[in-house]
Amino acid sequence: MTQDKEHLRELVRKGYAAIAKGGGSCCGPSKSCCGGGDAAGVARAVGYSDAELATLPEGADMGLSCGNPGAIAALQPGEVALDLGSGGGFDVFLVAQKVGPAGRAIGVDMTPEMVGKARRNAEVFRRRTGLDNVEFRLGEIEHLPAADASVDVVISNCVINLSPEKPQVWREVFRVLKPGGRVAVSDLALLKSLPDAVQESVEALVGCVAGAVLVGETEAMMKGAGFVDLALESKPEYIESMSQWNDPLYRGIIEKFPAGARLADYVTSLSIAARKPGA
């Protein structure tokens, strides 16, 4: 089992390393794993504004979003926010502007190429905004490089589905949050079990589909970790738009479904909010 988990983790790492280098994914010429080729179009489709996108360093948005966690995070100036699977820094840079100079935005990613890309982007961000409140750490979301009770808000955008140890991820999120701290996550989730051909597909794993779990499983894992005040909202309109992308990766995934089946019959974009008990 441990070997299986490490194998899956390495497949994901290789896929996203290829994207960070700009050469497509491990599955083919697609420029993203969880998004279409038009990164800005993907971001707009899931709720990011043109004004937000205009503040980002070039290349920070790689079309990897399946929602807008910052929109539900209720971020306040001076807070510390941590982004799971931060990629090129897309959400970190937006969060940094909301928490301001007295706050801090931390990105964690297990792919060295992504962390390197994000750190280069951070230099551009500092020059452009005057803010020096971002940092990027290399690490796995199952073993977060952050101290106990050190973070006000944890966000994540289409990443937890990629982990082979999701209950451990939620336990780690709970650990690093301060009492009363919040979770704001966008992720893909299943409405029903996937066909075997999709479940066993490398493309579907790296494309954020095969690793997804049922909505009820996500809720159970979060409750098991200790979270309260859970709010899980399905947003199927994102999946509907995914089905229209002329993207080689997603065309390959959809072809593995039974004739007449739609991706939206099986998968939804899930907006997740919760709180750690305490002050």
Which one is predicted more confidently, 46 or 116?
116
Q: Which of 212, 203, 205, 210 is nearest to 250 (CA)?
A: 203
Exposure of 217 by Cβ count < 10 A (0-12 exposed, 13-18 middle, 19+ buried)?
middle
Separation CA 246–CA 64 (nearest Å): 15
pLDDT of residue 33: 44
Q: Which of 209, 265, 155 is nearest to 33 (CA)?
A: 209
Start-to-end CA span in the chain (Å): 39
Amino acid at 144: L
Q: For the chain, what is the domain count?
A: 1
Separation CA 158–CA 178 (nearest Å): 23
17-31, 48-62, 171-185: least confidently modelled range: 17-31
Share of the chain above pLDDT 90, in %: 48
Which one is predicted more confidently, 113 or 263?
113
**For residue 180, what are the domain limits?**
2-275
pLDDT of residue 28: 37
pLDDT tens for 125-184 read 999 999 999 999 999 999 999 999 999 999 999 899 889 899 999 999 999 999 999 999
pLDDT tens for 231-250 read 999 887 777 666 555 555 56
For residue 189, give the CATH number of its domain. Answer: 3.40.50.150
36-50, 90-104, 203-217, 251-265: least confidently modelled range: 36-50
